[in-house]
Amino acid sequence: MGNNWLKHLLWEAPYQNWFLVTLAVINLLGSIYGYYWYREQLASTPLIWWPFTPDSPLATTFFALAMILAFYRRESGLLRLVAATAVIKYGLWAMVIISDYWLAGARVTVVEAGLWLSHLAMMVEGFLFLRHWPVAPWQLALVVLWLGLNDFVDYGLGLHPYLFSPGQESLAGATAAGLSLALSFYLARAINWSRGQEK
């Protein structure tokens, strides 16, 4: 019974008010901590690039806003797609970077373990909702543009998040670009699937 209830919530019907509120609160609290985590990098970054600097907390802020709008049934299709792809991308990205840091011999601390688990949760929540959301071609174009612009600012201009060790730059860039590409293909397939269902 318990497993069926959880499957129904997470896989079939995540649009329950208490769940939307819970996710909004958790993501807002995580965003506050995330902006604090980025405080030194933000302080050394020109203001114009701030919207592209705190990748993870900005993603969770978008997701919290998407959950709030979903609660009030005033959803923005573009916002929720940007939010879902962002939490998936930066959730997985952080997990890769932290895992690489550990595999290189670094000690597993409570802080890094907490970051790894919180970014896993980001990835999961993104997929829970993304699979329920239709994708319009113009939305896909803007999401792809947003993902690509973030990667350009991070790795073309060198404003990527601070890494755990100096040798991670290539992995960080390749992971970000690969995730942007994979998510773009996922959304493109969602458009084709939606059209097939309509015929």
Q: Per-residue pLDDT averaged across 14-31, rounded?
A: 96
How many independent structural domains does the chain possess?
A: 1
How would residue 102 be classed by pLDDT, with cut points 50, 70 and 90? very high
Q: Is the model's pLDDT at 195 over the cut of 60?
A: no
Q: Is the model's pLDDT at 192 over the cut of 80?
A: no
Q: Per-residue pLDDT averaged across 6-26, rounded?
A: 88
148 and 181 Cβ atoms separated by less than 8 Å: no
Mean pLDDT of the chain: 91
Q: What is the pTM of this model?
A: 0.91
Residues 6+ apart with CB under 8 A from 84: 63, 66, 126, 127, 129, 130, 133
- Token couple for 21: 């509120």
- Token couple for 168: 């991670």
Q: Per-residue pLDDT averaged across 49-65, rounded?
A: 95
Range of the domain at 176: 2-198
How would residue 196 be classed by pLDDT, with cut points 50, 70 and 90? very low
**Looking at residue 97, what is its pLDDT?**
96
Pairwise CA distance, residues 52 & 153, whole Å? 7
